[in-house]
A and B are shown apart, each in its own frame.
Chain A
Amino acid sequence: MKITKEKFGQSFDALAADYQIIAPVSDAGGVNYKAVKSFSEVKQDYLNSKLPPKSFLFPQHEKLLSYKKEGKDVTIKNELKVGKSILFGVRPCDAKAMLLLDKVFKNDEYTDPYYYERRDNSVIIGLACNKISPTCFCSSMSISPASSEGSDIFLIDLGDSYQVEVITEKGKALMAGLEELVELSAEEQALVDTIKSAQTASKVDVSTITAKLDKMFDSPFWDTLHEKCLSCNACSFACPTCHCFDISEEVHKNEGSRVRTWDACMAPLFTLHGSGHNPRDKKKARWRQRMMHKFNYFVHNNGDIACVGCGRCIKSCPVNLDIRQVIDGVNNVELVVD
């Protein structure tokens, strides 16, 4: 079934009255997700955003609570304010990444209310990739440029209209007002089939990487891999699955707030203890951690690789330390048998 973009745009604009709509717009010499009021603001033709939409579920800098001391009285205020949101135009890699973030922020041990309140109140409208960037490798990560996993509603751009797939109950509820769905023509169906069968040209092999990494903690592979890394956070901040954070107090006189800020394992400060000891003071240890966390620890803890093949880290790295080459490097390591 499909809907014309004109009709979809009208519904989109109407929904903007009740929902905060986050959608791709032109930004920072590319495209990024921002709050929009009208469908006319939405960037239609884009490969993917420079930064992933994760910041709307897990902001880079978030007040968790604030407090004030007056005399002997301390008042504490919960700073969680959540309204209904729609994340529009989310690519399949990013929609999958949100499923991975769910595993971190809501599991058997605890639920993170800040993340989850937003998550529960958001509807994900996914959008297939008609064009595929040369740095995309989602096809190697059990995703495809047109996979609907993680989306509540999934769209495929057909030019003047969208093919619509309602995936979840949440999506169904949002789509209830849209009665203008019509059948696809044979030509459009053929286009949908082509988009659905597309694969990324760039590929990696992760079939045995987790088991390989089990035996590679002490491998000399890590000795040189890291050398050109500048220890910046560009890869982590551009990553849709990276989720490490720091909690700190921002205090001024008798009032302040407890804030949560993105942090990243590439930065030496990330693991610096109060004692001055730093268990990962060398780039070697930090790069090993990055690979281990994504391709080994996360798999053991959550059953999935924490990389969706979006390629943003490849594009944002100032020294071109390409994770595809690191994966190849791990695959090529010859393990020494004891």
Chain B
Amino acid sequence: MQRSIPFEIFRYAVILGIVAVSLVPTLWMISMAFKPIAEWSAAGADLTWWPRNPTLDNFRFIFGQSSTDLIVALERTAGRPIFASLLTATCGTLIAMTAGTSAAYGLSRFGQGGNLPLALIQLRLFPPMAVMIPVMIMWSFLGLIDNWFGLSLIYGIVTLPFAFWLMKTFFDDMPREIEDAALVEGCTRWRVFVRITLPMMRPALASSALFVFILNWSDYLIALLLTTRDWATIPVYMASLSSSMTGQLYGAKAALGVIAAVPPIIMGIAIQKHLVRGLTFGALKE
């Protein structure tokens, strides 16, 4: 399009400005995470944009090591919530990917389950808050409240639409010649799926699984309603990190925030090629 020098200057100025704005909140949290208590506790006294004496105290503190300046000790350390987040997000991803991939293949190749695309779009559409009452009743009836399996199961269901739609578009794109050749060789359909199609789809499976994992890892509302203590995930635990003695534990929360925020950012950048496909349910591919 336009290639004039003023336009190029304008382009860089606008883009760099927006990049700066979009990075500041994240950088501020990272900066907070490395500040010693004296720099974050004195509310409003003297704001420092960058830690003057960078320290790992906040990270040590959330993992239970008593800090030199902070007298309070944590009732629960961050280890358990991090484990809970990892386990439930992983199991939720496994459930969504298993059910989603096989259903997507069933629809893409055999035309079965024609009701699923619409049903899953609707599932994605509804506010989770609007089905949580029956889910809470059912889950407590089944003994799944504050239980890793209960949380994994609902994660698997909530992210199923994404797994299904992503894999469906990948299967629709995949050329059939190789599958057909294997069928002519006398393989059964099941063997073709397991031995030929799935291995060929490995990159697609990996991207979809990462996409689904990010969604599960990012949940707050569901864990807030379905966990109480033992299986509280990182965001739920983070919200509980305030004490009557120190008020908001800014530094500790920021340290936990960094731990929670970094994995999805790295994964998201790794799969950015497929983000559009996942977010628009395959309506737009790159």
A binds B: no
**Chain B interfacial positions (CB closer than 8 Å to A):** none
> A residues within 8 Å of B by Cβ?
none
